[in-house]
Amino acid sequence: MKTHRRGQGVLITGGSSGLGRGLAEQLAAEGARVALVARRAGPLAEVVEAIRARGGEAHAIVADVAAKEATYAIAGTAASLVGPIDLLIHAASTLGPVRRDGLPPMPLLLDLACEDLAQVLEVNVVGPFRLTKAIAGAMVLRGAGTIVGISSDAAQEAYPRWGAYGASKAGFDQLLRVLAAELHDTGVRVVTVDPGEMDTPMHADAFGGDHDPAKLAHPREVAAKLLRALDDASVASGARIAVSSIPSIPSISSNSRDEVSS
């Protein structure tokens, strides 16, 4: 088990499910002190309890990253629980309005309400930007830290019905690329990550009846690959990491797929 993360302070948004949960479990197993943010108290408490049961350190912060008034409360609470934040991971995200009546789950752009687009941008761009501002300054002063934005291939490809989500991911990707350029030589690394298709509730919402877990990566596998990439000193600030290009890790086998993050 890796020990170089022991004692590191980590803040993960979207920590109650999917990749956020997978990263939290892996980081805690490696000795990091993990603070998790999510809107739903029940699922978040379940993740924290599971991590603690395995001997890891995890703390729940029930909050909405899109709420402006929650930004500094999240940052301050996280620092009080796990110490200075060495690793900030933006995993919280929303698709926007999703139908569950058998019709295509997501709307065409001309059917998308402007208010729904605004909400997607608040969750996927503006909220994470506020939290980054609240955390990154201390990283610069310490001369160390990593900021990770979880992106999507929808940020680069024009998929019909993915307009709001794709635009939000493209926007946040660009913000982080510019931030990386502005923080050049400060010791703070900023990267974005395309995790690929995973067996998550969000994927199930987006694809409805076409969601097939057997054809998708488990979030734990993706988390292990992503952390492996972050350990690679050759991955420079401003990089976009495509998890699909990272070789599989033998120790993460199909037998580990007994729990599907929810």
Which residues does the annotation mark as catalytic?
A: 151, 165, 169
3-state secondary structure of 35: strand
189 by Cβ neighbours in 10 Å (0-12 / 13-18 / 19+) ranks as buried
- Tokens found for residue 174: 């660009």
CA distance 17 to 25: 11
- Tokens found for residue 206: 């987006």
Partners of 10 in the β-ladder: 34, 87
Residue in 64, 58, 1 with CA at minimum distance from that of residue 24: 58
CA distance 225 to 14: 19
